[in-house]
Structure 1
Amino acid sequence: MQYWLVKSEPEAYSWADLVKDGNTAWTGVRNYQARNNLGQMKKDDLVLFYHSVSEKAVVGIARVAQEAYPDSTTDDARWVAVDLAPETSLKKEVTLDQIKKDSRLENISLLKQSRLSVMPLKPEEFDLILGMSN
C-alpha cells in the first residue's frame, strides 16, 4: 500500500463535499509531477485530504477508489484523474503549523514542495500525521 496527500481549497471542493458525494473524480490536475503521482496511485491506497489556502490543515482520510484514467475535463490525453472516496474524518484536524513544528516531518513534500497538489507520503509520515489528530 502507498500513502498520499491531496490538496484542495475548501471553497472549491471540501472534505465535507467529498463526504456528501461519497466519491469524486480528482480532475483538473495540470502539474506534471502531480499528474505522475496520480498515475502511481493504486486502488485502496490511503490519501490524506488537506484543505489548502484558507485552512491549511489535514482534515480527513480518503482512499483511491479507481486508478488513473483520462481526465474528462480536457481533450489532452496527457492528463489523468483518479476517483477518491471518503474513509473517515480526522478526530482533530492537523494544521500546517503543527506539521512544521514536528522535526520528524521536516522532509515531508508538503513543506518541501508546497505548491504540489498531489504528493506521496512515507508510511511513517502518514502515521505521524494520524497520531497528531488523536
Structure 2
Amino acid sequence: MNYWLLKSEPDVYSIEDLKRDRISLWDGVRNYQARNFLKAMESGDVAFFYHSNTKIPGIVGLANIIEINLIDPTQFEVNSPYFDSKATPHSPRWYTVKVEFVEQFSAIISLETLKQTFNSEELALVKRGNRLSVMPVSLSVAERILKLS
C-alpha cells in the first residue's frame, strides 16, 4: 500500500462532496508529473485529501484509491475546462483514478502545521513553489500525518 496527497479547491470539489458522493472520479488533472503519479497508484492505496486555495489550506480527510489507470473523460468534452484538443479516444493524454471516501478529520491539519512538522525533503507539499495537485507521501510521513489527525 502506498500513500498519496490529492489537492482540490473546496469550492471545486471538497471532502464534503466526496463524503456525499462516496465514490468519485479524480478528473481534471492537467500536469504531466501529477498524471504520472496518478498512473503509479494501485488499488488499495490511501490518499490524504487536501483543501487548497482556501483561507486555511490543509489535510481534511482520507480516501482510498479503488480503480486505477482510467482514461479521464473530461479531456474529450469540448465544453469542459479540462478539454484537451490534442487528446483523442485512440490516443488519450490524461489518466485518472476513482477514489472512495474513508474519513473526514475532525480538525484540519493546516499547511502551517505541516510546515512546522516536515521539511521539504520529507513532504514535497511544504516545498516553496510546489503546485502539484498529486504527490506521493512516504510511509513514515504518512504515519506521522495520521498521528496529527
TM-score by length of 2: 0.85
CA distance in 1 between partners of 2:143 and 2:105 (Å): 12
CA distance in 2 between partners of 1:131 and 1:80 (Å): 32
Which one of the candidate residues 108, 121, 129 is aligned to 2:137? 121
Which amino acid counterpart does residue 138 of structure 2 have in structure 1?
Answer: K
Percent of pairs identical after alignment?
Answer: 39
| Structure 1 position 92 matched with structure 2 position 115 | no
TM-score by length of 1: 0.94
Structural RMSD (CA): 1.0
CA distance in 2 between partners of 1:23 and 1:109 (Å): 26
Q: Which has the larger radius of gyration?
A: 2
CA distance in 1 between partners of 2:35 and 2:114 (Å): 24
CA distance in 2 between partners of 1:89 and 1:114 (Å): 24
4+ runs of 1 displaced by more than 6 Å?
none
- Is the deviation greater in 32-41 or in 82-91? 82-91
SS in 2 for 1:119: strand
Which amino acid counterpart does residue 120 of structure 1 have in structure 2?
Answer: P
Unaligned stretches of 5+ residues in structure 2: 77-86
Number of residue pairs aligned between Structure 1 and Structure 2: 131
**TM superposition shift of 1:90:** 1.7
- The corresponding residue for 1:64 is 65
CA distance in 2 between partners of 1:35 and 1:19 (Å): 24
Describe how 1:1-134 pairs up with structure 2 within 5 A.
1-54=1-54, 55-75=56-76, 76=87, 77-102=92-117, 105-106=118-119, 107=121, 108-112=123-127, 114-133=130-149
Which amino acid counterpart does residue 110 of structure 2 have in structure 1?
Answer: T
CA distance in 2 between partners of 1:66 and 1:32 (Å): 19
**TM superposition shift of 1:82:** 0.4
**TM superposition shift of 1:114:** 2.2
CA distance in 2 between partners of 1:100 and 1:111 (Å): 6
